[in-house]
Amino acid sequence: MASIIAMSEESDMAKNNPELVKLLTELRIQAKKKNAPIWRDIAERLERPLRVWPEVNVSRIERYANEGDVILVPGKVLGSGVITKKVTVAAWKFSKGAKEKIESIGGKTMTIKELMKKNPTGSNVRIMG
């Protein structure tokens, strides 16, 4: 039985997570269909090794985001620090603490796929990490 593997064009690395492989494909399709280079950029970042994916604390989001911003983290959001701004954060993964902190102040958390469906052109999205 063959497994689903995505190969990066520039390297020999393979992604074995079927959910991630599907997301990478959808990001590239959306980038071409809507002429939105942000989705191609995110796909390229997610193709990199996991050890170089960003881990962003909510304190960094607090420091650099403005009220009402849409933040995209092509990695994981961690719960260290305090957040007081209502922001929408999309990421591959959230720690339990980060999700609770963002949602407790009225912010929203979502997956990258959900953000892509909500905002197909990727306009007014800030990449952090």
> Percent of the chain, pLDDT > 70?
90
CA distance 70 to 124: 7
For residue 10, pLDDT beyond 70: no
Indicate the pTM of the whole model: 0.87
> pLDDT tens digit string along 46-77?
999 999 999 999 999 999 999 999 999 999 99
CA distance 59 to 104: 15
In CATH terms, 16-127 corresponds, of 3.75.10.20, 3.40.50.1400, 3.20.20.10, 3.100.10.10, to 3.100.10.10
Average pLDDT on 87-113 reads 98
- Angstrom CA distances, 93 to 46, 49, 55, 112, stand at 12, 15, 10, 9
